[in-house]
Amino acid sequence: MLARTLAAEAYAVTTVGDGGAALAEVSSASPPDMIVLDVTMPGLDGLAVCRRLRAKGVTVPILMLTARDSVADRVSGLESGADDYLVKPFAVEELIARLQALTRRGRDGSQVVTYGDLTIDAASRTATRSGRRIDLTGRELEVLELLAREPRRTITRERAIEEIWSGAAEPNVVDRYVTRLRRKLGAPPLIHTVRGSGFMLRG
């Protein structure tokens, strides 16, 4: 049903029935533009598949589908490397909106953004800092890119959620992504918290 729905929206869809087949499909074919993973799958579950794909350096945006709706479950999904987490049952319109948000890149048409020793390449979904390559998930890149396109200006949580998550996310999801980005970017810190408001990129 999901494959038919996406095909009707002009997506080219390939489906597999279990976690092992998902890993094999991504490894054997040219990388897809998007991966939609169900958490509950035979064999390897969606969380395990996501972790293994990220460990292999696969940076394709991943949307996780699940019936588990607790905060702990959402955190587990995001920490496994997923870019977004959609709880069943969901409206098809929301699914399409989230897929469109995940595939948006280069809002002003430019694929490369630089700030100080940081360079973001939206096409390859990577960043470098002082020449060191930093692999990012699609959603991590979008958060960092939003901050880097307007350095030294406060980006509120509300704005980030509206632009990156199409308004469909909890406020603390931005904080979780910023924490992950800070860890990946290393020292000295580039992303600073503006208390009670949001975040700012400054060196």
Q: Domain of residue 20: give its range.
A: 2-103
pTM of the model: 0.56
Name the domain count of the chain: 2
Specify whether 43 is located in the same domain as 83: yes
List strand residue ranges (DSSP E) for 12-95, in order: 35-38, 62-66, 84-87
Q: What is residue 183's predicted lDDT score, i.e. its pLDDT?
A: 94
The owner of tokens 């499909």 is 25
Per-residue pLDDT at 11: 83
Do 53 and 146 lie in a common domain? no
Integer Cα distance of 138 and 121 in angstroms: 11
- What is the per-residue pLDDT across 12-53, written as a single tens digit (0 to 9) for each? 899 998 999 999 988 876 778 889 999 988 889 999 999 998
CA dihedral over 82, 85, 89, 92, signed as positive or negative: negative
Q: Which amino acid is at 116?
A: G
**Contact status, residue 142 vs residue 74, Cβ threshold 8 Å:** no
CATH number at residue 132: 1.10.10.10
